[in-house]
Amino acid sequence: MPFSLKILGSNSATPAYGRHHTAQLLNIGKYHFLIDCGEGTQERLTLFKAKTLRINHIFISHLHGDHYLGLMGLLYTMHLLKRTNDLYLFGQKGLQDIITTQLKCSDSRLNFRIRFHELNPERPEELFEDELLSVTSFPLSHRIPCCGFLFKEKEKPFRINKEKLPQDISLQNIVLLKQGKDIYDENGNILYVNKELTLPPRKARSYAFCSDTKYDEGIIEYIKGVDLLYHEATFLADKLKWAELTYHSTTEQAGLIAKKANVGMLVIGHYSARYKDLTPFLTETKNIFENTILSIEGETIEVEA
Amino acid sequence: MPFSLKILGSNSATPAYGRHHTAQLLNIGKYHFLIDCGEGTQERLTLFKAKTLRINHIFISHLHGDHYLGLMGLLYTMHLLKRTNDLYLFGQKGLQDIITTQLKCSDSRLNFRIRFHELNPERPEELFEDELLSVTSFPLSHRIPCCGFLFKEKEKPFRINKEKLPQDISLQNIVLLKQGKDIYDENGNILYVNKELTLPPRKARSYAFCSDTKYDEGIIEYIKGVDLLYHEATFLADKLKWAELTYHSTTEQAGLIAKKANVGMLVIGHYSARYKDLTPFLTETKNIFENTILSIEGETIEVEA
């Protein structure tokens, strides 16, 4: 099952050097989650050959323009592409009003229904759950209400080792094997030893998105041990004070959060437009947390099972 | 004095084939007028090396997303670029509310003041005037309130022919010569014959912007004789019925308006995303009005004096 993150936008407040406002497309199995939607996101979706109509869930972290100004355009385009499926939209208080006001001014009625869920910026909340995965929001520390998002696969079943499986085993017993159980007969004698007939479950993967936020160890409890963490790193380490003032993070702070949360891999982004060369971002963050990569637009980060 | 139009966006509702939503930058003398501001306009301004902070007047024809969704992003960027000058914004009722709602949600206070003028979509109205030029809005026929804009240089003075000018002529008489007058002494005898000392005035140039609109001969009175007319041509001629239904124009209709209005040159645009090749747009329109060009992003159209 795929679990991959495509970077659609990597810059902070102002587009620069071919880098754009924040947007990411997370593909887990059948789901295509859009996370933030900066100006021009619809164009990057087309450019990177993502299928816009496959997106049924959009998560907007907060209402600074560089995180949502592409949303209206995307909604209109979905309408023109004749979307009819409901669209699940998660955003801060006010986003629904922003959309409604603009639809009214353009005298537009979309072909599809937007099911809006107002985020709780104060405490974690489960936004979505099915048999495959769950999505949870959690508070970030920014100048205005802002949420991070945790995408987490459910624990997976033991995998049947088809080469070893007896031909006459019942479906019921296969279900028990997948649950990791040994199987006994009615007299309590062991019939099948689970580990002889199964392979270990595939790993349940996870991704956490944290933008925008100042350095805040309070988020560690929500993101600890994730396979992939996106943490904003708007500034290089020498701009620590400016980062604090603007409720953003530096490279080293992003690395420190990744280290303390013991994540598998860190991807940084939300670069300030003052920087053309991103090399120092990678170097500085790697000094704190080695397994770091840069978010580069158009690139896809696979989370292995 | 420059009088040139830079095309920043040329497509209609959906960006496609590297073409974007409507936006144009009109430079007349010291003025840099932004006309419509589709999504991503700020990026095209940077790409085409236009100086964003030189824009002091923005004209938004109507509130369909493809004509204004880049405005908020541009305002935020102007703020980040530390703009302090007032910005004059002309738009339909509702635009101010759209801006205010979003500024409130982002808890932003811009460094500069927006002087908003609500357009009158019912009748022509002078929006701006100084010694050099005037800007007038006029109603277009679209599904929602929509205005065209006419930019017109003032009549220009006769030019003094320095080679012929007597050395002892007074400043007062030069002023009269510039006004095209012959000059008499106190006894009514002719002193200077104007045409012997002056060259004819440079032409007062004009540009009219008409997007979006269905075919409407009612606009001819506002645009007649302009040097350059932009008229939308969303569809090729065979989509006449569809153009009527959607309150847009075809190539031939744009050509016909240009012809009836006896304009100097026609530039068409607002192409539907269904068309990849624009050649037939040019061919069809030229069949009706020969002096037609396509709007191509990044290109500049000079209006000669």
In the three-class reduction of DSSP (H, G, I as helix; E, B as strand; rest coil), residue B155 is classed as coil
Within 8 A by CB and 6+ apart from A98, the residues are A63, A68, A72, B98, B101, B102, B105
**A284 and A152 within one domain:** yes
Mean pLDDT, all residues of chain A: 96
Helices A251-260 and A279-288, packing angle to 10 deg: 30
- For chain B, give the mean pLDDT: 96
Residue with tokens 């669209």: A87
User: Which pLDDT belongs to residue A167?
Assistant: 87
Rounded alpha-carbon distances, angstroms, from residue A243 to A3, A178, B257? 32, 49, 56
B91 touches chain A (CB under 8 A): no
Phi and psi (nearest 5°) for B96? -65, -40
The answer to whether residues B23 and B14 touch, using CB atoms and an 8 Å cutoff, is no
Model confidence pLDDT, tens digit, residues A22-42: 999 999 999 999 999 999 999
CB contact under 8 A, A15 and B105: no
**Is A48 within 8 Å of chain B by CB?**
no
Interface membership of B77 toward A (CB under 8 Å): yes
Domain end position, chosen among A178, A199, A220: A199
3-state secondary structure of A135: strand
Check CB contact of B71 with chain A, cutoff 8 Å. Answer: no
Side chain identity at residue B225, one-letter code: G
pTM reported for the whole predicted model: 0.92
Domain that holds residue B163: 159-199
The string of pLDDT tens digits covering residues B249-293 is 999 999 999 999 999 999 999 999 999 999 999 999 999 999 999
| pLDDT-wise least confident of A15-29, A130-144, B142-156, B165-179 | B165-179
- In this predicted structure, what is the pLDDT of residue A13? 87
What's the count of helices (H) and strands (E) in chain B, helices before strands?
9, 18
Annotated active-site residue in B36, B66, B212, B227: B66
The answer on B186 and B127 residing in a single domain is no
Task: Name the residue in chain A with its Cα closest to that of B272.
Answer: A80
A202-248 residue pLDDT tens: 889 999 999 999 999 999 999 999 999 999 999 999 999 999 999 99
Q: Are residues B125 and B271 in the same domain?
A: yes
Rounded to whole angstroms, the Cα distance separating B200 from B249 reads: 39
CB contact under 8 A, A43 and B20: yes
Are the beta carbons of B77 and A46 separated by less than 8 Å? no
Residues A72, A105: contact at Cβ < 8 Å? no
- With bands split at pLDDT 50, 70 and 90, how would you rate the model's confidence at A140? very high
- B9, with CB counted inside 10 A (0-12, 13-18, 19+), is buried
CATH of the domain at A297: 3.60.15.10
Task: Provide the ipTM.
Answer: 0.91
Dihedral-angle region of residue A225 (phi above 0 means left; psi in -120 to 50 means alpha; beta otherwise): left
Please tell me the distance from the alpha carbon of residue B19 to that of residue B185, in angstroms, as a whole number.
63
Structure tokens at A203: 């790993």
Q: Does A118 touch chain B (CB under 8 A)?
A: no
CB-based burial, A28-67: b 16+ in 10 Å, e otherwise: beebbbbbbbbbbbbbbbbeeebebeebbbbbbbbbbbbb
Q: Which residues contact A244 (CB under 8 A, 6 or more apart)?
A: A214, A215
pLDDT at B127: 98
**Tens of pLDDT, residues A147-176:** 999 999 999 899 999 899 998 899 999 999
Q: A-B interface: how many C-beta pairs under 8 angstroms?
A: 95
B96-145 pLDDT, tens digit each: 999 999 999 999 999 999 999 999 999 999 999 999 999 999 999 999 99
Single-letter residue type at A61: S
| Residues B14, B51 within the same domain | yes
* Closest residue, chain B, to A42 (C-alpha): B15
In this prediction, residue B13 has a pLDDT band, given cuts at 50, 70 and 90, of confident
Residue showing tokens 């309590």: A188
pLDDT of residue A34: 98
Beta strands A125-129; A133-139: pairing state: antiparallel
Residues of chain A contacting B106 with CB distance shorter than 8 Å: 63-65, 144
Contact B102 A63 (CB under 8 A): yes
Task: Find the residue in A nearest to B104 (Cα).
Answer: A94
User: What per-residue confidence (pLDDT) applies to B133?
Assistant: 96
Last residue of a domain, one of A143, A171, A199: A199
Residue environment code for B168-204, b if the CB has 16+ CB neighbours within 10 A, otherwise e: ebeeebbebbbeeeebeeeeeeeebebeebbeeeeee
Same domain, A220 and A241: yes
**pLDDT score at B305:** 80
Q: Any chain B CB within 8 A of the CB of A144?
A: yes
State pLDDT tens for residues B169-220.
Answer: 999 999 999 999 999 988 999 999 999 999 999 889 999 999 999 999 999 9
**Whether residue A270 is found in the same domain as residue A178:** no
Residue A239: per-residue pLDDT: 97
A174 with A50, same domain?
no
Residues 6+ apart with CB under 8 A from A197: A160, A161, A164, A165, A177
| Total domains present in chain B | 2
| A166 and A245 in a common domain | no
